[in-house]
């Protein structure tokens, strides 16, 4: 039984090889049509004739219907919802700031409205945004975006000259992460106010 199958496969392969060789030797204009004059090898005795090479399907060719069925989810499949994004921050109209004068050890807590300038001695603070977000374990994380200018007397006796000493975000739960570096003053965010 096995020898018959092997003989049948050998005959089919020799038929495919012979017809491929005959097509390769034809004129390119007539290569598409089967050669009428090309002799076909006779099958071995006791072996059924093989089908023509055009009817043989390649072994590697994927079945399009099977691929489409694998790619499409079943009709009754439950698609999980997308994961939630980061929480939306709550914007406040004011920021509560605290300042320390290192020379006199004086501290002052004050509310700075968003978009307005507030002056403390030679510091001019302008808050641009104050946001509160929920943190880990129910903690609230407050952050403020502000610019701080320091006023200095002009050398020509005119109005004071301002110089920017800080611009960026400050965080209430980590005041040292992005702090004001000034020789006389420390300033940090306490909370965002309503």
On whether both 53 and 98 belong to a single domain, the answer is no
Residue 35 has a pLDDT of: 47
Could you give the number of structural domains in the chain? 2
One-character DSSP codes across 50-80: PPPGGGPPPSSPPPHHHHHHHHSPPTTPPPP
On whether both 173 and 105 belong to a single domain, the answer is yes
On whether both 95 and 185 belong to a single domain, the answer is yes
On whether both 99 and 63 belong to a single domain, the answer is no
Q: Along the 194 residues of the chain, how does pLDDT read in single tens digits?
A: 566 776 777 776 776 665 554 444 555 554 444 444 555 555 555 555 555 555 555 555 555 555 555 666 667 778 888 888 888 899 999 999 999 999 999 999 999 999 999 999 999 999 999 999 987 777 889 999 999 999 987 778 788 888 999 999 999 998 888 889 899 999 999 999 86
Sheet holding 185-193, edge to edge: 106-113, 94-101, 185-193
Residue 90 has a pLDDT of: 92
CB-CB contact of 160 with 153 (8 Å): yes
Give, for 20, the enclosing helix (H) or strand (E).
helix 2-25
On whether both 127 and 170 belong to a single domain, the answer is yes
Structure tokens that stand for 166 in this block: 């800080």
pTM over 0.95: no
The parent domain of residue 169 ranges over: 90-193
3-state DSSP assignment of residue 44: coil
Residue 110 has a pLDDT of: 95
On whether both 44 and 106 belong to a single domain, the answer is no
157 torsion bin: left (phi>0), alpha (psi -120 to 50), beta (else): left
3-state DSSP assignment of residue 22: helix
On whether both 170 and 117 belong to a single domain, the answer is yes
On whether both 188 and 96 belong to a single domain, the answer is yes
Residue 33 has a pLDDT of: 47
Residue 175 forms part of a structural domain = yes
CB-CB contact of 50 with 9 (8 Å): no
On whether both 165 and 105 belong to a single domain, the answer is yes
On whether both 189 and 106 belong to a single domain, the answer is yes
């Amino acid at each position: 039984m096995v020898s018959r199958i092997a003989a049948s496969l050998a005959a089919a392969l020799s038929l495919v090889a012979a017809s491929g060789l005959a097509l390769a030797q034809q004129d390119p204009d007539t290569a598409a049509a089967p050669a009428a004059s090309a002799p076909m090898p006779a099958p071995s005795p006791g072996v059924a004739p093989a089908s023509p090479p055009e009817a043989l399907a390649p072994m590697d060719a994927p079945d399009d219907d099977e691929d489409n069925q694998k790619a499409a989810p079943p009709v009754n499949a439950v698609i999980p919802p997308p994961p939630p994004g980061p929480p939306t921050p709550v914007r406040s109209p004011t920021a509560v700031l605290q300042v320390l004068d290192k020379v006199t050890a004086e501290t002052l807590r004050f509310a700075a409205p968003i978009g307005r300038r507030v002056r403390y001695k030679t510091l001019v603070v302008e808050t641009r945004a104050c946001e509160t977000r929920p943190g880990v374990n129910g903690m609230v994380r407050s952050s403020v975006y502000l610019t701080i200018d320091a006023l200095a007397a002009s050398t020509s006796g005119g109005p004071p000259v301002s110089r920017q000493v800080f611009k960026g975000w400050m965080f209430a739960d980590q005041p040292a992460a992005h702090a004001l570096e000034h020789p006389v003053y420390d300033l940090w965010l306490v909370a965002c106010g309503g």
